[in-house]
Amino acid sequence: MSDYRALIQELEAVCSNPAAAVAEEMKRSGRRAIGCVPAYTPDEIIYAAGILPVGLWGGQTDIKLADSLLQNFCCSLIRADLEYGMKGTYQMLTAVVIPNFCDSLKALCKNWPYGDTGIPVLGIAYPQNRIPAAFQYLISEFQFFQERLEKLTGTKVTDEALEGSFGIYEEYRKTCREFVKMVADYPVTLNAKTRHHILKAAYFMDKKIYTEKLRGIIEGLKAQPKEEMEQFKVVLSGILVDAEAYLDILVNNHITVVADDLAQESRQFRTPARAEGTALEKMAQRYMDQRGCSLIYEPEKSRGQMLINMAKDNDADGVIAAQMKFCEAEEYDYPIYRKELQKAGVKLLYVEADQQIEAAGQLENRIQTFVEINR
């Protein structure tokens, strides 16, 4: 039986010092690393080129240098990424990949060369309009990305390596889906903070190694009796909830995250790939199949119904809309799904929160009140 506690500790340690974890993995494997800015990037191609993809989801840092390029009403994630780039935190990266899912991401792509980071940018433009022709377009865009990646890094991505890489990523995603489903049964061990740390660690590790460790945690926990706890079960929705202060509030109030619709978490792995096609085709098809994400155009706007289903299927007491400040994509979705959730009788709490939490007391009050009223 695997020592799941030690594995959890290991992943939490990765999260507490991502730079060290990335440096260690680079040293261990002799590979270079490339930064991947949210929300979706073709990590499988980078991995197949023998390079470690690293997720760049901002962080809790004072914004100083980035203020010279971006106004303060740009979201904290983008500003933090630029700050880290400008102050040298990302100097171990061979390149950064910046996709185009919102105006602030485009702004990051535009401004990066003016920040004297010394790190080249690889842009990529995912389709918003997912008509059937978008499938072929995305494959071409992946190929174009691959050509530029090969040229920049002097590597060659073989079809065989790409198939292997896709397999590793698909296994990672499948294991994550299995993991998030277990949380309701082990709410003590997998409290909101630990759950988040375990999932986040994946961004700084080799996915094959990560998946083995996550598998170890799942198997280890399964061998344990289910945990009983007086708890308030929620579905988290938004871009991310990763400020330590925010997570502490969830834990202190016995709030269990029984499911999530966060860009940083389940949106990465909730959509399984189809069986047929080449690796690039399967990657493109997965993107075409993704639903309910604020960052991709979807005229049906299925997010509200999706959240209702998630709350019901997981027996949740409510949904927390974790609104990242200045994230327009999320701000546009909210009035629509709020109406739908209200109609379906699903309790909803809207809380604005940055990666830098300034008013933790106020946040705690609102969350406490929500729990008390709806328990």
Partner 1 sequence: MEEVKKTSKQIMNEMTRDVYVRAAEAKKAGKPVCWATGIAPQELMTTMEIDTVYPENFGAAMGAKHLSGPLIEVAEEQGYSNDICSYARNNFGYVDVKHVDDPVNLPMPDMLLCCGNSCNTVIKWYENLAKEMNIPMLFLDTPYNYMDEGASEHQIRFMEEQVYYMISQLEEITGRKFDYDRFKEVMEISMQTGEWWLKAIGVAKHKPSPISGFDLFNYMGIMVCDRGRPEARDLFKQWYEESMEKVARGEGPWKDQEEKYRILWDGIACWPQLNLTYRTLKKYGINMVASNYPRLWMITYDSPTIASMVRAYSENVGANREIPFELNAYLKDTETYHLDGLIYHSNRSCKPMDFKQYAIRKVVIEKTGLPSVIFDGDQTDPRVFSEAQFETRLQALVELMEKRKEGRKEDE
Q: How far is the CB of 320 from partner 1 (least distance, A)?
A: 15
52 closest CA partner among 34, 27, 30, 28: 34
Nearer to partner 1, 10 or 331 (CB): 331
Nearer to partner 1, 13 or 133 (CB): 133
Is the peptide bond preceding residue 39 cis, with omega within 30 degrees of 0? yes
Q: Any idea which residue has 């995250």 for tokens?
A: 257
Q: How far is the CB of 337 from partner 1 (least distance, A)?
A: 10
Q: How far is the CB of 352 from partner 1 (least distance, A)?
A: 8
Angle between helices 4-16 and 192-200 (to 10 degrees): 70
* Residue 69 burial (CB count, 10 A): 18
Q: How far is the CB of 53 from partner 1 (least distance, A)?
A: 18
Report the number of secondary-structure helices (H) and strands (E) in the chain.
15, 8
348 exposure class (CB count in 10 Å sphere: 0-12, 13-18, 19+): buried
Q: How far is the CB of 152 from partner 1 (least distance, A)?
A: 13
Residue 52 is classified by DSSP as E
CA distance 174 to 153: 30
Residues 6+ apart with CB under 8 A from 159: 278, 279
Nearer to partner 1, 42 or 216 (CB): 42
Tell me the DSSP string of 86-150.
HHTTTTTEEEEEE--SSHHHHHHHHHGGGGT----EEE----SS-STHHHHHHHHHHHHHHHHHH
**What residues line the site for partner 1 (CB under 8 A)?**
68-71, 73-74, 98, 100-104, 106-107, 109-111, 113-114, 121, 123-125, 127-129, 131, 133-134, 136-137, 140-141, 144, 294, 297-301, 323, 325-326, 328-329, 331-336, 338
CA distance 157 to 280: 12
Residues 6+ apart with CB under 8 A from 311: 235, 259, 318, 319, 341, 346
158 closest CA partner among 167, 146, 148, 168: 146
Q: How far is the CB of 131 from partner 1 (least distance, A)?
A: 5
Q: Are 226 and 201 in contact (CB under 8 A)?
A: no
Nearer to partner 1, 211 or 355 (CB): 355
Nearer to partner 1, 294 or 355 (CB): 294
Query: Is residue 196 helix, strand or coil?
Result: helix
Q: How far is the CB of 129 from partner 1 (least distance, A)?
A: 4
Q: How far is the CB of 296 from partner 1 (least distance, A)?
A: 9
Nearer to partner 1, 139 or 245 (CB): 139
Q: How far is the CB of 145 from partner 1 (least distance, A)?
A: 10
Nearer to partner 1, 125 or 251 (CB): 125
Nearer to partner 1, 26 or 63 (CB): 63
Nearer to partner 1, 100 or 368 (CB): 100
